[in-house]
Chain A
Amino acid sequence: MRTHSLFDRQTILVLSLLAAAAILVPTMNELPPPGSALHLSDHLVPLLGKYVCFALLALSVDLIWGFSGILSLGHGAFFALGGYAMGMYLMRQIGPRGVYGDPILPDFMIFLNWKELPWFWHGFDWFPFAALMVLLVPGALALVFGWFAFRSRVTGVYFSIITQAMTFALMLAFFRNDMGLGGNNGLTDFKEILGFPVQNGSTRIALFVLSVLALASGYLLCRWVVGSTFGKVLVAVRDAESRTRFLGYRVEHYKLTVFTLSALLAGVAGALYVPQVGIINPSEFAPANSIEVVIWVAVGGRGTLAGAIFGALLVNAGKTWFTAALPEFWLFALGGLFVFVTLFMPRGILGAAGDLWERSSQKLRARRSPQPATHAAE
């Protein structure tokens, strides 16, 4: 078993591209005058930031699907829960600047004629607590859900279906006004984060850079996990679950750990997403969203980590372009993408590129040192 060094060629490439984005986007937004060809307009910064958050979400899905064979069709739920935790903090920061001007109660509670803050809203005015909840809520859900599911060996499509049921149930729950989280409209009209106005250009740039940093750290974390012995066992579980179990590994512990870790990453992605798009509502829980995340990973290349990032950026950029230029055809394109990628590119774009690279370099090597193949086997 070959152990990867943490900083292999792919990692260095991904990190330098992310670093370039973190430097280029703010400079192109700030320095060149508006109208210049190099200028990045203000509305593009949060859009790119949104893509970066999606990339982190895709990364979390790739970690469990690509390396442990767990296909979650409910990862949007962890993303949305992280987002709601951040949204609650941002709601509390509005303070008396809401439409109704109540210093404590958010507008929608006044609208529903509530008299006091529900218990679970307490503490969210303090950022460290909210940040803890961003991790704790999705993590706890994943831990409980995964513990039940993996312990009784719910695998394959059955697991996929019940994760879908989970996010569907959460969507129904969050649509209710009685849930105390804004119901249909969700949480919105945010004013400031940590004292900085959310709408400001500089805040948006800071959020973008933070998102890129989070993505880079998430990528490094995943790379470290899959490179470790723990990661090797995960791959073994993916390829032959029963055999791994017979070898004496507690498969469910491995699965549970990586599932929870993945949920944490998704929660962080959601928390960074909300201040940049300015709203979180129950439609984020929609099962269709979670399935879309899986296709990002599949397009980029399942089990490559870098592919997940690449796929998320590519598909979302395509979505933005399509829904503006040819709105009728977006679902055709997305549906076609699902079919095409699963049929013809099972390893995604990066996987296919990797194969091509491998083959050409083999040819190159073969031309340089024309030795018989049997020789190499020794």
Chain B
Amino acid sequence: MVFLRNILQATVLLLGMASAALAGAYEEALPKFANDSYVDTDAAIGAIAGSGNPLSIDVVESLRDGRLLVGSGQVFFRRTSGELVNAATGQAWGNQTGELKPVRVNNRVRRAIEAALGSLTLLSSDAAKRLEAARAVFRSRDEATLPTLEKAIAQEGQPHVRNVLESARAAILLSKQDALPIQRLAAVQTLRNRGDQEALALLSNLPSQAPPEVIAAAGNAADGIRTRLAFWEAVQNVWYGISLGSVLLLAAIGLAITFGTIGVINMAHGEMVMLGAYTTFMVQELIRSNFPGLFEASLLIALPLAFLVASSVGILIERTVIRFLYGRPLETLLATWGISLILQQGVRTIFGPTNREVGTPAWMSGALDIGAMSLTYNRIAIVVFAFSVFAILLLVLRYTSLGLYVRAVTQNRRMAGSMGIRTSRVDALAFGLGSGVAGIAGVALSQIDNVSPNLGQGYIIDSFMVVVFGGVGNLWGTLVGAMTLGIANKLLEPYAGAVLGKIALLIAIIVFIQRRPRGLFALKGRAVET
């Protein structure tokens, strides 16, 4: 009870002091700017910020931007519109008398300005400005803003602004010399609830003369925050892993279809991804020059086109080259490698060797904050997109006649042929499907990677690893393979570094292949050799 009474008394005292300072403080402080002394300017800023005069924010902002002028003992400020205003009265001052000099500022004054603006905008009617100001106060921890802060908290209606205001107050009280222990304990609790890196820094750098119970509480709270941050970091890494896994899934899923059906490794698969990315680039160029209003939809327009471009190229390759090499998988590998070189050089000749600019629509920029991590919308879009492509392919393979034929040919080519399936047509269509999926993967990857002739090369080995790891003939294997590799890669990264993590993963796959030479989800069959 004694404590409570003390707090009440202290609050009343503080508020009383604040209101007493209001009367005439603005008019008193203003002439100090004319002294051309940093100390006086500093003092004047503090007084003006606390004065409550409606002109104070204009004055302090003008000072920050070098628009606060003095001349013949009077103070003026120039609005951004160019109008000259007498700071004492707020009246426009059309006829300028004598020479006006801007009030000079140094770093100390700039800090005072920031703190003053923080407290001034705390009471702004714009919630975004209040939030900004609260964050500024949290960083500056200026004790002078405490009264304004209390006032702002009392009238704040929006909970998320209120949270930031309260944590700003807590930050001030925590390091304030004469704050009561109970205030400090409450501050520790508030900061603990805030639970981010900044709160952790405040709690672990407590002044040593703080009361022991406060230090103990702060230590506890800091531990709590560390645990929470470690948890969110793990979640964040898993998310990065899922994001990388989706990219791998997109790049590898088409490869899995062609490899599964025809049994050949398509080394030009990466170039199909590249073609998709360049299709996106072309679509955006056309939209920019002809229909600027459609830019937001450019990726959606690019999707079917990329599928068409890549699958036509794929079918062309299958009909002109791969068809003649069935039964010779190693030769197919070499021939498709040759095709990939030709495609790369072709794109380089047409579009040039440098990266091309592919824009991001507004709905894909920005980030979503969850807990202590932030997820960018383009990554979220790619994860959603990858899973949608996966689901659609699964449905196509499960419920369409093409899917039935592809599965039949994958399981037993000769038997499928004997049942009347035209296997060579299925081969061509499957190759087209796989290549088309690579094309739409290119649309997605154009958002997160450089669109250059080498785009495909960066994905080809990783895609192989996914397919080899997951096994062929089953899309679930590709999904599990991509996600496992993606997440393992991102979980290893903080410990081993990006390169060592990747090397470790490659070695792990090489060893894994020893145990399961046909991948995780191998087709069961009686064939001695494939």
Contacts and interface: CB of A to CB of B under 8 A. Distances in A.
Interface string B490-517: 0000000001101100110111011101
B506 A168 contact: yes
A337 B341 CA distance: 10
A168 B321 contact: no
Contacts of B348: 331
Of B324, B344, B499, B530, chain A has the most CB atoms within 10 Å of the CB of B499
A152 B515 CA distance: 7
B464 interface: yes
A335 B506 contact: no
Contacts of A298: 334
Interface string A21-33: 0000000000000
Interface stretch (B74-82, B298-306, B325-333, B394-402): B325-333
A329 B341 CA distance: 11
A145 B513 CA distance: 12
Contacts, number: 129
Interface in A143-184: 145, 148-149, 151-158, 160-162, 164-166, 168-169, 172-173, 175-176
B510 A342 contact: no
A336 B338 contact: yes
Given A162-B513, A331-B345, A339 B333 contact: no
Nearest to B341: A335
A338 interface: yes
A152 B513 contact: yes
Contacts of B263: 157
A189 to B, nearest CB: 25
Interface size class of B (residues with CB under 8 A): 35 or more
B529 A241 contact: yes
A205 interface: no
Contacts of B509: 162, 165
A332 interface: yes
B506 A154 contact: no
A332 B509 CA distance: 33
Q: Classify the secondary structure of A's interface with B.
A: helix
Contacts of B332: 342
A175 B513 contact: no
B335 A343 contact: yes
Given A165-B461, A342-B334, A173 B503 contact: yes
Interface of B: 263-265, 321, 324-325, 328-335, 337-342, 344-346, 348-349, 461, 464-465, 468, 499-500, 502-503, 506-507, 509-511, 513-515, 517-518, 528-530
List 5 tightest A-B contacts by C-beta distance, closest first.
Answer: A338-B338, A335-B341, A335-B342, A331-B345, A169-B506
25 contacts: A149-B513, A156-B330, A157-B265, A158-B468, A158-B513, A160-B333, A162-B513, A164-B461, A165-B506, A175-B499, A241-B529, A242-B528, A287-B461, A291-B334, A331-B341, A331-B342, A331-B344, A332-B345, A334-B338, A335-B338, A335-B341, A339-B321, A342-B335, A343-B324, A346-B331
Interface of A: 65, 71, 145, 148-149, 151-158, 160-162, 164-166, 168-169, 172-173, 175-176, 241-242, 287, 291, 294-295, 298, 328-329, 331-332, 334-339, 341-343, 346
